[in-house]
Amino acid sequence: MAEFLIRRRRVVPDSTDEAMFDKFIQPPAEPSRTLDRVPADVFFRRNVGDGIDIPLPFRLPDGKDKLRMWVVGNPDGTRTFPSEAIRVRAGQTVHVETTTSIGPHTIHWHGVEGSPMNDGVGKHSFEIRGRYTYQFTPRDPGFFFYHCHRNTPLHFEMGLYGALIVDPPQGPGYVSALSPATNDVVPYQSEVIWVCGAQDPRWHEFSHNHAIGSPDPNDPKSFTTGGGLGDWKPTVFNITGAVAKDGATVITDPRAMGRARPGQTVLVRLLNASYAIQEYRIGADALVIAQDGRALGVPPYGAYSEPFTIPAGKPFQLTSAMRHDILLRPAAPGVIPFQVDYWDWQGATLRGRAKTQIVVA
Amino acid sequence: MHEQADRTRDTASQGAATLRRGQFLKIGLTGLVAVAIGSEAKLVSGLLGARASAAPAVYDITITDAMVEMINLDPVYHWVFADATGPHLPGPALHALEGDTIELRITNTLDEAHAFAIDGTAIATGPIPPGQSRTLSFTAPAPGTYVYLDPLNAPVNRLLGLYGVLIVLPSAGSTPYTGPPPRLQRLFDDLGTTAHFPGEPWIPERTRVWQVHSVDSRWNALAAAGRTIDAAALVADYRPDFFTLNGQSGYFASHNSRNAPEGRVGQPFLIRITNTGLMAHSLHLHGNHFYLCAVGGVPQASVRMIDSWRIGPLDRADWVMPFIRPPDIAGPATRPLRQALRQELSYRDSYGLSQCPLEFPMHCHMEPSQTAKGGNYPGGLVTHWEITGDLDLDFAAAGFDCEATPAPAEIAAAAGTVHVHG
């Protein structure tokens, strides 16, 4: 036995400290209305937590050929995995009226920096049990995403995420990139969204509040044990919702596979939406023009950086939530292969591989 | 013993309740303690929000063991660095100025060989047999953030708790570096002097250290039983059940002013980050994008403004959090927050807690790291930061009722030390 004991501090019962601890674990419900509300330029409705089964191109060990996912649905009935993309223009004030199937949930607008009550993180604001309208005014064009931030290890993995694209004022077809001659806006003709995900089917049996508990901070027995959310071993790998049959078969599902004509500019939006270390290979020189929704080299905030090129075929890695906006300029007909290797987060084990391509014709 | 930035008073003697009393000679608390080594101690006093003290000419560090209470109060056996004030997890944050001559005396009180080294440099004691000491004299390396650790039986000895940071500051200049690349210099020149960075320049006092770490308590239990741990076996079967930032998890890592930067708009912070665990983390900041200033100790020529960054095992990174007005708050971007968010700053939730100051999380997006014992979200690698006012005025001074953060004197009074004599 050791000579020393290093303590975790105790929380004083019935104190502000205890209230803050409790809020951290079990956030309060939403306010009755959006505070400091300003008029919206664009309006969306979303419902968090709709269940759908996605088909698998193989059978799981238990014989099933589908996987239960949770998605952010559109109340018009649209339920897709990943959840439907939200697309707005820079400078627009956005309202998203949000409800839940089985509460509580939130939506965090990853990379968009609104006020805490519109950031969708329960421990610093609230979680939605009924209805709340998020509002924000994204100023910077770029590639963002949204996801539920309740019991996040589980809810994000289950599919509660989608792309959030902020176009420059010119709209889709233009992207913010260093180009002083054109006011740092560049046209593109083909857009490919590669949101690379992975799933551990063992987790897809869990309930919304799995392993959260409502611990008394000073009672060791009140914390949950054995929840399994620290142990993630994916066996299902997808690119933008299209599940890879195996590591050799090229995905041709149009959600993943891109198309372009020779001479066109292709914009690739790349996101690691998993807990794997993702290693990519793109079969063409890739000009990285933006990272995490900020254009490299573009003043004022981007002026301390510059775009960079990843040579064709050279592997590069992103960890969870990291994003690149990439320009490709294929000159001749052919295919540009794209491969994702999913390494476990210790970096030691290759869990899986997915392949797709851009057809240039 | 050191203090930590707790918000509340408690009685340290409660800690022994979960263990048999009398087995421990001293009781410590987790958290960050800063020590100035080298010649210019006064320059680093006040850094980190931690109590900084000047070390004697030769700074004594002891390698010993301790039971450490995790977030759920599980006592987990660790190997730790201790100094004259007691055991620390992480080890004391050592501060020096570039070019300082530093003298450390490392004593190994454990039953197997240990060592002390500064990762990425040639500074190392080599193995120290049980019961022996080694004196290590060296010149402080180039300014930056360094990991010190026990490099033996890697990664076992560092994973069991033998890790800390060495921070080296430049002897001149307005950045944390000597001769930084031009765009990095320009970033620091622009903070507080340009239209897009209104407010104040960075000052060294606005620094935080985030040491991220992982614990697989099964291996710690083997060490407690006196077993020699085979490094290859550990690496092949490593399933961490706790994830820490400066030795703490979840609420205790987050609501801790030594970890959490706080300031008004226009008061930028430097964050020095290390990972001594075995997993790749992906640290995501809410509320502001950050500037990636140094990676692996290398000041960056292209300083990217991003919201997530990978910190793998033994990686290091320095960020600047610009503390700009969160850019995407609904409505006109020029309105002071006290006007734009008047209702939000006045809001109290069902716990009676105020939304003032404005709090944003920082957490790892490799989300299994947000757990403890496989659940208890958000009980892992997380902290937060706070905006306490507009450029020109604290929210409190503008009449908002903000949750108070205790002053350093209160923190010192609340933490305290208890010696339990067997």
Which residues from B are below 8 Å from A107, CB to CB? none
Handedness of CA B231, B234, B240, B242 (dihedral sign): negative
> Do the chains contact at B69 and A231, CB–CB below 8 Å?
no
Of B69, B78, B238, the CB nearest to A7: B69
Q: Write the pLDDT tens digit of every residue in B187-226.
A: 999 999 999 999 999 998 899 999 999 999 999 999 999 9
pLDDT at residue A345 in the model: 97
| Amino acid (1-letter code) at residue A218 | N
Using CA coordinates, name the residue in chain A closest to B302. Answer: A305
Q: Write the pLDDT tens digit of every residue in B393-407.
A: 999 999 999 986 544
> Do the chains contact at A296 and B74, CB–CB below 8 Å?
no
CATH number for position A350: 2.60.40.420
Where does residue A15 rank: exposed (0-12), middle (13-18), buried (19+ CB within 10 A)? Answer: middle
Quick one: average pLDDT of B121-131? 98
Residue A292 within any structural domain of the chain = yes
Q: For residue B92, give both structure tokens.
A: 């004391």
Q: How far apart (Å, rounded) are the C-alpha atoms in residues A192 and A105?
A: 29
Q: How far apart (Å, rounded) are the C-alpha atoms in residues A94 and A86?
A: 10
Of A23, A113, A217, the CB nearest to B328: A113
Cβ(A43)–Cβ(A97) below 8 Å:
yes
Buried b / exposed e across A52-90, counting CB within 10 Å, b at 16+?
A: eebebeeeeeeeeeebebbbbbbeeeebbbbbbbbebbb
> Do the chains contact at B367 and A156, CB–CB below 8 Å?
yes
Cβ(B360)–Cβ(A119) below 8 Å:
yes
Residues 24-83 of A with CB under 8 A from B: 24-25, 28-29, 31, 35-38
**B15 pLDDT exceeds 80?**
no
- A129 at interface of B, judged by CB pairs closer than 8 A: no
- A22 at interface of B, judged by CB pairs closer than 8 A: yes
**B4 pLDDT exceeds 70?**
no
pLDDT at residue A347 in the model: 95
Q: How far apart (Å, rounded) are the C-alpha atoms in residues B40 and A303?
A: 35
**B22 pLDDT exceeds 80?**
no
pLDDT at residue B57 in the model: 73
CATH annotation of B12-176? 2.60.40.420
pLDDT at residue B164 in the model: 97
Domain boundaries along the sequence of chain B: 12-176, 182-208+240-405
Mutate one of A36, A43, A158, A271 to test the B interface: name it (highest B CB count within 10 A). A36
- A210 at interface of B, judged by CB pairs closer than 8 A: yes
pLDDT at residue B38 in the model: 58
Of B10, B328, B369, the CB nearest to A136: B328
Cβ(B388)–Cβ(B262) below 8 Å:
yes
Q: What is the CA radius of gyration of chain A?
A: 22
Of B282, B327, B330, the CB nearest to A320: B282
Q: Which residue has the higher pLDDT, B28 or B368?
A: B368
Question: A245 and A166, same structural domain?
Answer: no
Question: A245 and A141, same structural domain?
Answer: no
Q: How far apart (Å, rounded) are the C-alpha atoms in residues A27 and A105?
A: 10
Residues 160-189 of A with CB under 8 A from B: none
> Do the chains contact at A123 and B361, CB–CB below 8 Å?
yes
**Could you give the ipTM of this predicted complex?**
0.98
How many folded domains does chain A comprise?
2
Of B236, B307, B367, the CB nearest to A275: B367
Q: Coil, helix or strand for B124?
A: strand
pLDDT at residue B30 in the model: 53
**B28 pLDDT exceeds 80?**
no
User: Residue B58 — very low, low, confident or very high, per pLDDT cuts 50/70/90?
Assistant: confident
The domain of A327 spans 235-360
Buried b / exposed e across B12-37, counting CB within 10 Å, b at 16+?
A: beebbeebeeeebebbbbbbbbbbbb
pLDDT at residue B85 in the model: 84
Question: A347 and A252, same structural domain?
Answer: yes
Of B24, B74, B361, the CB nearest to A4: B24
Cβ(A286)–Cβ(A328) below 8 Å:
yes
Using CA coordinates, name the residue in chain B closest to A134. Answer: B330
pLDDT at residue B42 in the model: 42
Share of chain A above pLDDT 70, in %: 100
Q: How far is B225 from chain A (nearest CA, A)?
A: 8
In B66-148, where does DSSP find H-type helix? none
DSSP string computed for B127-151: -B-TT-EEEEEEE--SSEEEEEE--
Q: Which CATH architecture has domain B182-208+240-405?
A: Sandwich (2.60)
Quick one: average pLDDT of B61-68? 96
Quick one: average pLDDT of A161-170? 98
Q: Write the pLDDT tens digit of every residue in B265-284.
A: 999 999 999 999 999 999 99
Which residues from B are below 8 Å from A35, CB to CB? 341, 343-344, 347
> Do the chains contact at B251 and A292, CB–CB below 8 Å?
no
Which residues from A are below 8 Å from B262, CB to CB? none
* Closest listed residue to residue A164, CA positions, set A188, A142, A186: A142
Of A9, A35, A211, the CB nearest to B374: A211
Q: Write the pLDDT tens digit of every residue in A57-108.
A: 999 999 999 999 999 998 888 899 999 999 999 999 999 999 999 889 999 9
On average, the pLDDT of chain A sits at 97
pLDDT at residue B32 in the model: 62
pLDDT at residue B31 in the model: 58
> Which residue, A150, A172, A194, sits at the end of a domain?
A172
Q: What are phi and psi of B12, to 5 degrees?
A: -60, -25
Same fold, B12-176 and B182-208+240-405: yes
Write the CA distances from B403 to A20, A117, A169, B43, integer angstroms: 10, 16, 40, 31
Question: A245 and A118, same structural domain?
Answer: no
Which residues from A are below 8 Å from B372, CB to CB? 223
> Which residue, A138, A172, A206, sits at the end of a domain?
A172
Of B10, B313, B360, the CB nearest to A119: B360
Which residues from B are below 8 Å from A25, CB to CB? 251, 376-378
In B23-66, where does DSSP find H-type helix? 41-44
- A14 at interface of B, judged by CB pairs closer than 8 A: no
Residue A273 within any structural domain of the chain = yes
Cβ pairs A/B, distance under 8 A: 370
pLDDT at residue B163 in the model: 98
Question: A134 and A244, same structural domain?
Answer: no
On average, the pLDDT of chain B sits at 86
**B29 pLDDT exceeds 90?**
no
**B330 pLDDT exceeds 90?**
yes
User: Residue A1 — very low, low, confident or very high, per pLDDT cuts 50/70/90?
Assistant: low
> Do the chains contact at B350 and A28, CB–CB below 8 Å?
yes
Q: How far apart (Å, rounded) are the C-alpha atoms in residues B410 and A279?
A: 48
**B49 pLDDT exceeds 70?**
no
User: Residue B55 — very low, low, confident or very high, per pLDDT cuts 50/70/90?
Assistant: low
Q: For residue A130, give both structure tokens.
A: 């009924």
User: Residue B54 — very low, low, confident or very high, per pLDDT cuts 50/70/90?
Assistant: low
Write the CA distances from B56 to A226, B84, B178, integer angstroms: 47, 11, 27
> Do the chains contact at A215 and B361, CB–CB below 8 Å?
no
Residues 264-293 of A with CB under 8 A from B: 272, 275, 277, 291-293
Question: A33 and A152, same structural domain?
Answer: yes
Of A24, A294, A318, the CB nearest to B378: A24
Residue A277 within any structural domain of the chain = yes
Least confident span in A123-137, A273-287, B20-34, B388-402:
B20-34
Quick one: average pLDDT of A198-227? 96
